[in-house]
Amino acid sequence: MKKRLICLLMCLVIISTLLTGCSGVNGKSGSSDGDYHIAIVTPTLSASEDEFRAGEAMAKEYPNVVTHLTLPENFEDEIETCISTIVSAADDPKMKAVIVASGQSGLIPAFQQIKEKNPEIITITAPIFDEPEMMSKYIDINLDTNWIKRGETIPTKAKQMGAKTFIHYSFPTHLSKPLISARKDMMKKTSEALGMEWVEVVTPDPQTGDSVEAMQQFLREDIPRQIAKYGKDTNIFGSNCPMYDVILDEAMKEGFIVAEQCCPTPTQAYPTVLGLEIAEEDGTNFDKINEMISQKVADKGMTGRLSGWPIPVTIYMPEFAVYLAMEMIDNPDFDAKDPAVLNQLTKDKFGIEVEYEKLNSNGKTYDNYFVMIMDSIFY
């Protein structure tokens, strides 16, 4: 009897140890006790708040695993220091993955040097903006937004929200950028295919002498004229973030549709325009922020006329990259090159739908470069 009791107690201890000692990435608030390190590299707080906050949050969530490094603020003048900062992560013998979420270009040499130091280290970008050919060659997994496809998804959503006209505001230096120009062309093609009238308006250019205020004042005067002409069933899109302080404010007055901002996030213009009082501890509580927006929008009789993405992509993507790295390290059977697997990981970790697909650029599909569209929230 005594022997059976001892055996039973030993079994209970073993089971308890297994249950409490298991690591993994099954839930956003989980923890990892893996005997390895992951570095996430972002700009500083003042240079790019969202990416910095994401890196900071991951380091707090996994203090024994994740190290948060920051790049110099003067990126263009200190590119060599930026590269050495990234490469320094590989000096850690426990380093298993290095993630760079900087939204900048010129960093390919850092990944080349990491692989020279230790080819086993997983490298992920979330994102950077170098040539896809080079990124695909020297970086294990690349993540970015599907910017061109948004030229299709935004007008499609606008049409579903009741838009009969699609107005596109931009300025010459923006329109000279290939990505913005290609997205605009896709917006025009999609709008016309869906039977919406396409209207293109060029504003003062804040990047060639005109001020941001001049651009905003133009919008303030022009938008009411356009709505008087085309009616409230008009969607307005602006290619520049500062435009939305005016676009959303005018939407509340004029009642038109804003299917998506250029950077579709609940923290762009909505808090200012709607006068939201967001406590510091709720700064990244997007469920709460989205509820606050929805209530304010309802109070103004605008329910269903405004939409966006439920989480800033600049926070989602660096955090997702950390979870992805953990899965790649912890689970040998995890297929990081299957878009469906990436989609499911997002659903598991964030509770939202995101559609990843492999990048196709100039007729070539890249097996390790993924671009995404996030499912919408309607206010």
- Each domain of the chain, given as residue ranges in start order, spans 32-146+314-378, 150-308
Q: Any idea which fold 150-308 has?
A: Rossmann fold (3.40.50)
Q: 15 in helix, strand or coil?
A: helix
pLDDT value of residue 75:
82
Domain 32-146+314-378: give its CATH code.
3.40.50.11400
In a 13 Å sphere around the CA of 185, the CA atoms on its Cβ side amount to 9
Q: Give mean pLDDT in consecutive 10-residue pieces for the chain, a chain of 379 residues.
A: 40 36 40 82 93 96 97 88 97 98 94 97 96 96 96 98 98 94 97 98 93 97 98 97 97 98 94 94 92 97 97 96 98 95 96 95 94 97
Q: Residue 32: its pLDDT value, please?
A: 57
Angle of CA points 88, 91, 97, to nearest 5°: 80
Residues 6+ apart with CB under 8 A from 159: 191, 194, 195, 196
Give the per-residue pLDDT at 2. Answer: 39
pLDDT at 246 (0 to 100): 98
What's the pLDDT score for residue 96? 98
Strand bridging mode 354-361 / 307-308: unpaired
In sequence order, what are the residues at sequence separation of 6 or more whose Cβ sits closer than 8 angstroms to the Cβ of residue 369?
132, 135, 136, 142, 144, 358, 359
Q: Which of 157, 186, 137 is nearest to 305 (CA)?
A: 157
Specify the pLDDT at position 19: 36
DSSP element (H, E) containing 121: none
- Whether 32-146+314-378 and 150-308 share one fold: the answer is yes
Helix ranges (H only) for 118-236 are 132-138, 150-160, 172-175, 178-193, 212-230
